[in-house]
A and B are shown apart, each in its own frame.
Chain A
Amino acid sequence: MSPKPVRAREARTIIIEIDHRPVSCPEGVSVLRAAELGGIAIPSLCSHKDLSAFGGCRLCMVEIEGMRGYPLACSTIVAEGMKVLTESAALRDMRREILELILSEHPSSCLICDEQEECRQSMVTIRKAGVSTGCRYCPNDGQCELQAVVERLGVRDIHYPVYYRGYEAEHDDPFFDRDYNICILCGRCVRMCQEVRGASVLAFKFRGPKTQVGPAFGRSHLESGCEFCGACVSVCPTGTLADKVSKWDGRPDGFKISTCPFCGLGCQIELHHKNGRLSRVNPGLDPEINNGQLCVRGRFCLPETTHHHQRAKKPGLRRGRYFREVTWAEALDEVSSRLKGLGPKDILMVVSSDLTNESLFAAQKFMRTCLKSNSIDSTARWTLPGGVGLWASLFSLPISIKAISSAEAIIAVGLDSRFSFSVAGVEVRRALKEGSTLVTIDSNESNLARYTGHWLRPAPEKQGAAFKLLTERLLASGQKKGSSADLKKTGLDEEGLEKAVDALWPARDLAVVVGPAAFAQDGGQDIARALVKLSERPNTTILPLYQGANTRGALELGVFGEFLPGLARAKEPGLRLADVLEGKAKPKVIYLVGEVPFFKRPDCEFVISQDIYHPPFEVDAFLPASSFAEAEGTLTNVEGRVQELVRVEDLPDSASNGFSRPDWFIFGEISKKLSCPGLEYADSKQVLQEISRTVAGYPAAPDRRPRRFKPAENIPWDKPPASPSPAAEDGFRLVVEPGGFRHRGIDLSSVVEGLSELRLEEAFRLHPEDMQRLGLQNGDIIKVGLDGWAVTAPVRADADCFAGAVYIHRPLAYGGIGHRRGLEPLYRLSGDSLRVKIARGEQPAGQSCVLPGPGKTGS
Chain B
Amino acid sequence: MPARNAKSLEAQRSRAAEEWAALQNNSRPVIYVGAGSCGLAAGAEEVIEAMESYLAKNKIEADLLRVGCIGPCYLEPLVDIQMPGRPRISYSNNTPALIQDVLESFFEKGEVYQRRLVGHLGADGGDGLPRFFDHPMLARQVRIVLRNCGIIDPENTGHYLARDGYRAFEKCLTLPWTEVLDIVKKSGLRGRGGAGFPTWRKWQICRENESDTRYMICNADEGDPGAFMNRSLIEGDPHAVLEGLLIAGYTIGARQGTIYIRAEYPLAIERLRRALADMRELGLLGERILGSDFSFDIKIKEGAGAFVCGEETALIAGIEGRRGMPRTRPPFPAQEGLWGKPTIINNVETLATLPHIIRHGAEWFSQYGTETSKGTKTFSLVGKVRRTGLIEVPLGMTLRSVIYDVGGGLVKEFKAVQTGGPSGGCLSEEFLDLPIDYESLTAAGSIMGSGGLIVVDRNTCIVDTAKYFLNFTQAESCGKCVPCRVGTRHLVHILERISQGKGELDDLAKLEHLARSIKGGSLCGLGQTAPNPVLSTIRYFRDEFLAHIKDKRCPAAVCRDLVVYRIIKDKCTGCQRCVQVCPTGAISGPRSEAHNLDESKCIKCRSCYEICRFDAIAGDAIVIESRA
A94 at the interface (CB under 8 A from B): yes
Q: Is B306 part of the contact surface with A, judged by Cβ < 8 Å?
A: yes
The answer on a CB contact under 8 Å between B490 and A160 is: yes
Closest to B519 in A: A69
Q: Does B386 contact A (CB under 8 A)?
A: no
Bound-complex Cα distance A72 to B327 (A): 12
**Binary contact readout B514-550 vs A (1 if CB under 8 angstroms, 0 otherwise):** 1001001111000000000000000000000000000
Q: Does A152 belong to the interface (CB within 8 Å)?
A: no
**Minimal beta-carbon separation of A656 from chain B (angstroms):** 47
A58 surroundings in chain B (CB, below 8 A): 481-483, 521-523
- For residue A323, which residues in chain B have a CB less than 8 angstroms away from its CB? none
Write the B477-510 contact mask toward A (1 if CB under 8 angstroms, else 0).
1111111011111100100000000000000001
Instruction: Determine if A715 is an interface residue (Cβ-Cβ < 8 Å).
Output: no
- B323 contacts A203, CB within 8 Å? yes
Q: Which 10 A-B pairs have the closest CB atoms?
A: A211-B479, A75-B328, A101-B486, A55-B328, A97-B517, A208-B475, A208-B477, A56-B480, A209-B489, A58-B521
Contacts of A159 in B (CB 8 A): 510
Q: Which label, helix, strand, loop or mixed, suits the secondary structure of the A interface?
A: loop
**Considering the chains assembled together, what is the distance between the CA atoms of A56 and B521 in angstroms?**
10
Does A163 contact B489, Cβ atoms closer than 8 Å? yes
Please name the residue on chain B nearest to A52 by beta carbon.
B327
B373 interface hit (Cβ, 8 Å): no
Is there contact, CB below 8 Å, between A204 and B323? Answer: yes
Residue on B nearest A190 in the bound complex, by CB: B323
Q: Cβ of A56: which chain B residues have Cβ within 8 Å of it?
A: 480-482, 523
Residue in B closest to A93 when the chains form the complex, CB atoms: B517
CB of A243 within 8 Å of the partner chain: no
Contact between B482 and A207 (Cβ–Cβ < 8 Å)? no
Q: How many residues of B contact A (CB 8 A)?
A: 31
Contacts of B485 in A (CB 8 A): 105, 185, 208-209, 211
In the complex, what residues of B have CB within 8 A of residue A97's CB? 513-514, 517, 521
A-B contact pairs, 20 of them (CB 8 A): A55-B523, A56-B523, A75-B328, A98-B482, A101-B483, A101-B486, A101-B490, A102-B482, A102-B486, A160-B490, A161-B493, A163-B489, A185-B485, A204-B478, A207-B478, A208-B476, A208-B489, A209-B475, A210-B479, A211-B477
Residues of B within 8 A of A163 (CB): 489
Q: What does the 1/0 interface line of A343-372 toward B look like (CB < 8 Å)?
A: 000000000000000000000000000000
Does A185 lie within 8 Å of B479, measured CB to CB?
Answer: yes
Task: Please give, as numbers and ranges, the residues of chain A lying within 8 Å of B482 by CB-CB distance.
Answer: 56-58, 98, 101-102, 184
Report the minimum CB–CB distance from A84 to chain B (whole Å): 16
Contacts of A98 in B (CB 8 A): 482-483, 517, 521
Across the interface, A94 reaches (CB within 8 A) one of B490, B517, B523, namely B517
Once bound together, how far apart are the Cα atoms of A729 and B150, in whole Å? 73
Chain A residues packing against B (C-beta within 8 Å): 53-58, 61, 69-70, 72, 75, 94, 97-98, 101-102, 104-105, 159-161, 163, 184-185, 187, 203-204, 206-211
A58 CA to B477 CA, complexed, in Å = 15
Q: Tell me the bound Cα distance from A105 to B493 in angstroms.
A: 14
Chain B nearest CB from A158 CB (Å) reads 11
Q: How far is the CB of B329 from chain A (nearest CB, A)?
A: 9
Residues of B within 8 A of A105 (CB): 485-486
Could you tell me the distance between the alpha carbons of A769 and B83 in the complex, rounded to whole angstroms? 68
* Cβ–Cβ contact A209 & B479, under 8 A: yes
> Closest CB of chain A to B44's CB: distance in Å?
34
Q: CA of A676 to CA of B596 in the docked complex: distance in angstroms?
A: 112
A207-B306, A207-B479 known; A72+B486 contact, CB < 8 A: no
Partner of A206, one of B474, B479, B493: B479
B325 proximal to A (CB < 8 A): yes
Residues 300-343 of chain B, each 1 if its beta carbon lies under 8 Å from chain A, else 0:
00000010100000000000000101011000000000000000
Across-interface contacts of B513 in A (CB, < 8 A) = 97
Give the CA-CA distance A184 to B517 in the complex, in Å.
18
Once the chains are docked, how many angstroms separate the CA of A305 from the CA of B370?
77
Known pairs A101-B490, A104-B490 / 9 extra A-B pairs, C-beta < 8 Å: A55-B481, A97-B517, A101-B486, A102-B482, A161-B490, A187-B480, A208-B475, A208-B476, A208-B485
Q: Which residue of chain B has its CB nearest to the CB of A61?
A: B521
SS of B interface (majority): helix
Within the complex, what minimum Cβ distance (angstroms) separates B468 from chain A?
Answer: 15
Asked whether B474 lies within 8 Å of A211 as measured between CB atoms, the reply is no
- Chain B residues 427 to 472 lying within 8 A of chain A, measured CB to CB, are none
A204 to B306: give the CA distance in the assembly, Å. Answer: 14
Alpha-carbon distance A158/B493, docked complex (angstroms): 15
Complex contacts, A211 vs chain B, CB 8 Å: 477-480, 485
CA distance A185 to B483 in the complex (A): 12
Chain B residues with CB under 8 A of A161: 490, 493
Q: Is the CB of A209 within 8 A of B474?
A: yes
**Which residues of chain B come closer than 8 Å to A187, judged between CB atoms?**
480
Question: Cα distance A206–B476 when bound, in Å?
Answer: 10
Bound-complex Cα distance A710 to B490 (A): 69
Listed residue (B327, B475, B481, B510) with the most chain A CB atoms within 10 angstroms of its CB: B481
Kindly state the separation between the CA atoms of A54 and B326 in the bound complex, as whole angstroms: 10
Chain B 137-180 interface residues, beta-carbon cutoff 8 Å to A: none
CB distance from B508 to the nearest CB of A (A): 15
The answer to whether B477 and A207 have CB atoms under 8 Å apart is yes
Give Cα distance in the complex from A161 to B308, angstroms.
26
Whether A208 contacts B474 by the Cβ 8 Å rule is yes
- In Å, the complex CA distance between A53 and B326 comes to 12
CB distance from A804 to the nearest CB of B (A): 35
Chain A residues with CB under 8 Å of B483's CB are: 58, 98, 101
B362 to chain A, nearest CB (A): 30
Which of chain A's residues have a CB closer than 8 A to the CB of B323? 203-204
Q: A56 CA to B524 CA in the complex, in Å? A: 11
List, in ascending order, chain B residues with CB within 8 A of A160's CB: 490
Q: What CA separation (Å) do A102 and B323 show in the bound complex?
A: 22
Q: How many Å lie between the Cα of A161 and that of B323 in the bound state? A: 29
How far is it, in angstroms, between the C-alpha of A160 and the C-alpha of B482 when the chains are bound?
14
CA distance A159 to B490 in the complex (A): 10
Assembly CA distance A55 to B514 (angstroms):
19
Residues of B within 8 A of A75 (CB): 327-328
Q: Which residues of B contact A102 (CB under 8 A)?
A: 482, 486
Q: Which residues of A contact B521 (CB under 8 A)?
A: 58, 61, 70, 94, 97-98
Question: How far, in angstroms, from A206 to B479 measured CA to CA in the complex?
Answer: 8
A203 to B480: give the CA distance in the assembly, Å.
12
Q: How far is the CB of A218 from chain B (nearest CB, A)?
A: 16
- Collect the chain B residues with CB atoms within 8 Å of residue A70's CB: 520-521
Cα separation A101 to B476 with both chains bound (whole Å): 18
Q: Give Cα A160–Cα B520 distance, bound, in whole angstroms.
A: 19
Contacts of A94 in B (CB 8 A): 517, 520-521
Task: Report chain B residues within 8 Å CB of A204.
Answer: 323, 325, 478-480
A146 to chain B, nearest CB (A): 12
Given the complex of chains A and B, what is the CA–CA distance between A72 and B330 in angstroms?
11
A69 touches B520 (CB 8 A): yes
Chain A nearest CB from B94 CB (Å) reads 41
Docked complex Cα distance between A410 and B475 (Å) = 46
A98 to B481, CA, bound (A): 10
The chain A residue sitting closest to B521, CB to CB, is: A58
In Å, the complex CA distance between A210 and B485 comes to 9
The verdict on A53 contacting B328 (CB below 8 Å), with A69-B520, A104-B486, A209-B489 known, is yes
Please report the C-alpha to C-alpha distance between residue A118 and residue B623 in the assembled complex, in whole angstroms.
60
Measured between beta carbons, the chain B residues less than 8 angstroms from A54 are 480
Q: In the bound complex, what is the Cα–Cα distance between A97 and B490 (angstroms)?
A: 12
The answer to whether A101 and B487 have CB atoms under 8 Å apart is yes
Could you tell me the distance between the alpha carbons of A209 and B483 in the complex, rounded to whole angstroms? 11
Distance in angstroms between the alpha carbons of A56 and B325 in the assembled complex: 11
CB contact between B486 and one of A203, A206, A209, A210 (< 8 Å): that residue: A209
Residues of A within 8 A of B480 (CB): 54-56, 185, 187, 204, 211
Q: Which residue of A lies closest to B480 (CB)?
A: A56
- Alpha-carbon gap, A206 to B478, bound state (A): 8
On chain A, the residues within 8 Å of B520 by CB distance are 69-70, 94
Distance between B471 CB and nearest chain A CB, rounded to angstroms = 10
Could you tell me the distance between the alpha carbons of A203 and B476 in the complex, rounded to whole angstroms? 18
